[in-house]
Chain A
Amino acid sequence: MDNFKQKFIEEAADLIEGLEKALLLLEQNSEDAGLIQQVFRVMHTLKGNSSMFGFELIDRYTHNLETVYDLIRNKKLKLSRDVLDVTFASVDHLKQLLDESNYSDPDFITLHNSLIARVSKIINAETVVETVEKSANQDIIPDLAKEEFTYYIRFEPINEIFKNGTNPLYLIDEIHTLGKALVFAHLNRIPMLIELDPLKCYTYWEIILVTSADVATLNDVFIFVEGESKIEIQRVSEEDILTDDFFTSELTRIAKIHKDIGIAATMKVAEAAKKRFLQSKAATIKKEKVGLKDASISSIRVSSEKLDSLMNLVSELVTTQARLSLFAEHNNTPELISISENVQKLSRQLRDTAFSIVLIPIEHMLTRFQRLVRDLSNDLKKDVVFITEGADTELDKTIIESLSDPLMHIIRNSLDHGIEDTHLRLQKGKPKQGKITLKAFYSGANVHIQISDDGAGIDPDQIREKAISKGIIPPDKKLSNKEILDLVFLPGFSTAKKVTDVSGRGVGMDVVKRKIADIRGEVEIESEYGVGTTIIIKLPLTLSIIDGLLVKVDETHYVLPLSAVDKIYAVEREQLYDKFNNVLVLEGKQVSFFNIRKEFELSDSPLPVEQVIVVNFEENRVGLVVDSVVGEYQAVLKPLGKHYKKQEMISGATILGDGSIALVLDTNKIIKLFSRIEDYTMNVNSGNK
């Protein structure tokens, strides 16, 4: 700021010099409006800028002079001899004011005050001094130690709001920064397309905001649109009522039906919510008194066999329902179709409910890991952040229970052996803070859990040496890096140089592998020395029904898990065959693709247009070419039987409504498989390292 201050002093000196010149001319011709305007402008600039650079004295001094010349400019005051004299005196004084060392001189201050008094007198003679009004300070509500209130805000922009370059959405964004907001954008005033003027704003908003800010701060958000747009801000409650489900769902319901909610209705709902809250509070107290009797009803234990048989029945029902749909379609009886659609809807709901009984999100065990990382990183004096993705991924409760220990062990390993000490990290040019990521996601009929760290990684040479010294492998055995890494899963293998109480407890990765195998899962390890390690756990989904996309290739139906499907494109065959590389440009992005006909060694399709189904594969999008898409399909997964156990591409089969069979493809596995073959022939980037 000091630099700027110097600049300001230089500039102010120039301005004052210009002011002096103008005054001298003005003395000759006191009617010259241009000169008066110039003097006013100098005062105005001096005033505006001085306060920014800490020259409050100049600010206050020029404020009055500015007023004088504003009056003269507007012909409310005559430019008298007296005024000119004071202004000349002011010019000299302003020069002195630029030198802050003068401020400690009492004589200087006396002069300053007397000059101010002289200027004020001129103004007072004519009119009342304009007082600098500090806006919005009057109706401030005392700051009650960060208490949160709920406000109702209604923002109805004028149609012409865009004309002034205003984007009302930014104001909504700003509201969001103040606290927790529930925003209703009302589109009911948008006219028919034929009458719609795209340059006009038809939308208006109602917002429920929970914030500790006061009304003045909220008003401030809309300060630029204040006069012209309709703004209504009212406090609805003295507490945060957005946490109340009844309040939010009721408002949402009203907004849906009546479009506009209005303050009156909001108040009413808030009132009702409060009542309910008090009632429920009373009820819980009552319940607590009644005690165990009530609590036992809220959850019951059911034997897993009963659940299994329920699941089986649901699967059968879904299959039967598919037959019904097909039958209804062929018969073309409107009544039957509507019944069949209803059955479809019900069985879908029944299916979801049945499955949700046994599934819980992995989130439940994550807090335990968060805590572990926090405590351990403190103990080890390492700065580590634990990031989780896909915490809502659901797994069978029993799987989650058996998973907790192995995961705990893996995370401990990452913390202890993976992530380096802070100073070592800095030496390596890594960010100071280490990172352990747990990512869970669905892949085909599996759930994958990846735990990666950005730590030291595993040195394959070290593992190899160790394995040789322990007699696990003969010294001359040639192994790929992957094979070497897999050695850590062998019993009795521990790479820790020193045993720490964190991970060196004699429990090795072999135990992890065994425990995961117990729940029919697999473990893989990927590591780059110096960069980090990723451990991938693949678990079977107990879900025996998936939402799928039914497609056709040649004469066979296949089902792709809908969760993996991103988009479907129709592409002409010229683009798909006889190409040097299997890359398509879709919506401006390159997408590598595999032709299922080609991969399955079928003859080329005779169709002029084929469907490219773009699926998410690891970080990439990969296209799979099929003949045609039949539609969405709820597939009941049936195992293929032990003869087909070795293959990985197909995760199961399903019976279609007409009794024929569709194979359920595991998109991740087939893409991996296809690209592995490609790796030798051409260098397709597959993401399979």
Chain B
Amino acid sequence: MAKTILIVDDSESIREVVSFTLENEGYNVLIAVDGKDALKFLDGKEIDLIITDLHMPEMDGIELIREVRNMPFYQRIPILFLTTESQASRKMEAKEAGATGWIIKPFVPAKLIGALNKVIR
């Protein structure tokens, strides 16, 4: 069965590029515009991976990661966050919050899939 990936990003263009790439790879894609929006999907639905931006208006990525790690059902779900090269400190913060890994913007599809392959199969 196809794996389901939840994308959380307030930027529509990023959401589109990511979901386009992932759907091309045969994944099911769920879309949320920010952390708060993402929570509505996390109601016991089978989700295999979360990809989240860090900077978002309503509940940012780090808060979302903390929140997810506190949900028994999603405790061990892989979470990747989108970040830019210059945000090294945020990277550590997200990692400490429980993120599995990251994808550095800008990215090409191959890079995105490369990061994905490290955390799901």
Which residues of A are in contact with B by a Cβ distance under 8 Å? 4, 7-8, 11, 38, 41, 44-45, 47-49, 51-53, 59, 63, 66, 130, 132-135, 162-167, 170-171, 173-174, 221, 223-224, 227
Sample of 7 further A-B pairs with CB below 8 A, known A11-B12, A165-B77: A4-B20, A44-B55, A59-B106, A66-B86, A133-B85, A134-B85, A167-B121
Contact A48 B105 (CB under 8 A): yes
Query: With A167-B119, A224-B100, A224-B101 in contact, is A4–B82 under 8 Å at CB?
Result: no
- In the assembled complex, 27 residue pairs joining A and B whose CB atoms fall closer than 8 Å, in A order, are A7-B16, A41-B57, A44-B55, A48-B105, A49-B11, A49-B105, A52-B106, A53-B13, A59-B106, A63-B86, A132-B85, A134-B85, A162-B76, A163-B76, A164-B100, A165-B76, A165-B77, A165-B100, A166-B78, A166-B101, A167-B119, A167-B121, A170-B119, A223-B118, A224-B100, A224-B102, A224-B119
What's the minimum C-beta distance from B16 to chain A, rounded to whole angstroms? 6
Q: How far is the CA of A132 from the CA of B84 in the complex (A)?
A: 10
For B105, give the chain A residue with the smallest CB separation: A48
Query: Which residues on the A side are within 8 Å of B55 (C-beta)?
Result: 41, 44-45
What's the minimum C-beta distance from B11 to chain A, rounded to whole angstroms? 5
Interface digits, B66-92 against A, CB 8 Å rule (1 contact, 0 not)?
A: 000100000111110010111000000
Query: Which residues on the B side are within 8 Å of A130 (C-beta)?
Result: 86
Q: How far is the CA of A544 from the CA of B95 in the complex (A)?
A: 64
Query: Which residues on the A side are within 8 Å of B100 (C-beta)?
Result: 164-166, 224
For A161, give the chain B residue with the smallest CB separation: B100
Query: Which residues on the B side are within 8 Å of A11 (C-beta)?
Result: 11-13
Main secondary structure of the interface of A (DSSP, over half): helix
Contact A170 B95 (CB under 8 A): no
8 tightest Cβ-Cβ pairs between the two chains A and B: A224-B101, A165-B78, A51-B106, A52-B106, A8-B13, A165-B100, A48-B105, A7-B13
What's the minimum C-beta distance from A420 to chain B, rounded to whole angstroms? 33
Query: Which residues on the A side are within 8 Å of B119 (C-beta)?
Result: 165-167, 170, 224
B99 within 8 Å of A by Cβ?
yes
Query: Which residues on the A side are within 8 Å of B76 (C-beta)?
Result: 162-163, 165
Q: How far is the CA of A533 from the CA of B85 in the complex (A)?
A: 60
What's the minimum C-beta distance from A18 to chain B, rounded to whole angstroms? 10
Query: Which residues on the B side are within 8 Å of A51 (C-beta)?
Result: 105-106
Query: Which residues on the B side are within 8 Å of A171 (C-beta)?
Result: 118
Which residues of B are in contact with A by a Cβ distance under 8 Å? 10-14, 16-17, 20, 55, 57, 69, 75-79, 82, 84-86, 95, 98-102, 105-107, 117-121
Q: How far is the CA of A49 from the CA of B95 in the complex (A)?
A: 22
Query: Which residues on the A side are within 8 Å of B79 (C-beta)?
Result: 164-165
Query: Which residues on the A side are within 8 Å of B17 (C-beta)?
Result: 4, 52
Query: Which residues on the A side are within 8 Å of B105 (C-beta)?
Result: 48-49, 51-52
Query: Which residues on the B side are within 8 Å of A167 (C-beta)?
Result: 78, 119, 121
Query: Which residues on the B side are within 8 Å of A8 (C-beta)?
Result: 13
Q: How far is the CA of A48 from the CA of B105 in the complex (A)?
A: 6
Contact A44 B84 (CB under 8 A): yes
Query: Which residues on the A side are within 8 Å of B107 (C-beta)?
Result: 52
Query: Which residues on the B side are within 8 Å of A49 (C-beta)?
Result: 11, 13-14, 105
What's the minimum C-beta distance from B117 to chain A, rounded to whole angstroms? 6
Contact B99 A173 (CB under 8 A): no
Query: Which residues on the A side are within 8 Å of B120 (C-beta)?
Result: 170
Contact A163 B85 (CB under 8 A): no
Q: How far is the CA of A166 from the CA of B120 in the complex (A)?
A: 9
Query: With A11-B12, A165-B77 in contact, is A174–B99 under 8 Å at CB?
Result: no
Query: Which residues on the A side are within 8 Å of B11 (C-beta)?
Result: 11, 45, 48-49
Query: Which residues on the B side are within 8 Å of A48 (C-beta)?
Result: 11, 14, 82, 84, 105-106
Q: How far is the CA of A280 from the CA of B78 in the complex (A)?
A: 50
Q: How far is the CA of A481 from the CA of B13 in the complex (A)?
A: 63
Contact A173 B101 (CB under 8 A): no
Q: How far is the CA of A639 from the CA of B105 in the complex (A)?
A: 74
Query: Which residues on the A side are within 8 Å of B95 (C-beta)?
Result: 164, 227
Contact B82 A224 (CB under 8 A): no
Q: How far is the CA of A166 from the CA of B107 in the complex (A)?
A: 22
Query: With A45-B11, A52-B105 in contact, is A164–B99 under 8 Å at CB?
Result: yes
What's the minimum C-beta distance from B3 to chain A, rounded to whole angstroms? 13
Query: Which residues on the A side are within 8 Å of B98 (C-beta)?
Result: 163-165
Q: How far is the CA of A535 from the CA of B82 in the complex (A)?
A: 58
For A6, give the chain B residue with the smallest CB separation: B13
Contact A132 B14 (CB under 8 A): no
Contact A223 B101 (CB under 8 A): yes
